[in-house]
Amino acid sequence: MKTKLLLFLLLPCFSLAGCAQKWEPSPKRQPDLYLVPNGYVGWLHVEYGVKGAPSLPVRWGYRVYKFSRSGKIRTSSPLLFGWAKDKIYYTTPKGWKELKVTLNEGAGMVWGETLSGSANPVVTKFDAKGNRTEIPVPATSDKFIGTWKQFYHRKTEAPRSKEEEAALKED
């Protein structure tokens, strides 16, 4: 009886001790500044680590993404992981207008952010003879600019890189 009581009392202590391990947050990274043409609605698509593409400029402590109406940027800069307070603005003739990020059906204008890739992302293909080919696929990030209703109706349109499209066509 004493053994069962002792076990009953000590079991929660062991469980709590396991939960008390040191928690470490994600590493901090350099923040990003997105400059989007005024009135743009659609997906912003960034491809990282693209050989021969320009690197992202750094201004005011931010990596700066200046989008055209295409909504796409290819850069040789790497995709950075970690946390930071990124900023997204519409650029207008009168200055910049901040766009709010929203997690639910709120009044924000930034939705559906996704990140994909790693340091050396590749798609591995095998032909009929079993020959292996590795196709490099850049790391990417996507986010939708627009209202919740616009995002809801276009969320399946997220763009793909040229390399991703080529790899899918070969299947």
Q: Is residue 158 part of a domain?
A: yes
Q: Is residue 113 part of a domain?
A: yes
- Tokens read off for 78: 């790497």
Q: Which of 72, 83, 82, 70 is nearest to 48 (CA)?
A: 72
Give residue 150's pLDDT.
87
Least Cα distance to 36 among 103, 105, 88, 114 occurs for: 88
Residue 142 included in any domain:
yes
The whole-number average pLDDT for the span 13-34 is 68
Query: For residue 157, which of 70, 43, 69, 36 has the smallest C-alpha distance?
Result: 43
Residue 55 lies in a domain: yes
DSSP state of 20: T
Q: What range does the domain containing 155 cover?
A: 29-169
Residue 11 located in a structural domain: no
pTM for this model (two decimals):
0.70
Q: Is residue 164 part of a domain?
A: yes
Q: List, for residues 69-112, the tens digit of each pLDDT value.
A: 999 999 999 888 888 899 999 999 999 999 988 766 677 889 88
Find residue 159's DSSP bridge partners: none
Look-up: residue for tokens 């790693």? 118
- Asked, for residue 8, whether it belongs to a domain, the answer is no
Number of domains into which the chain is organized? 1
Q: What is the largest CA-CA distance in the chain?
A: 80
Q: Is residue 102 part of a domain?
A: yes
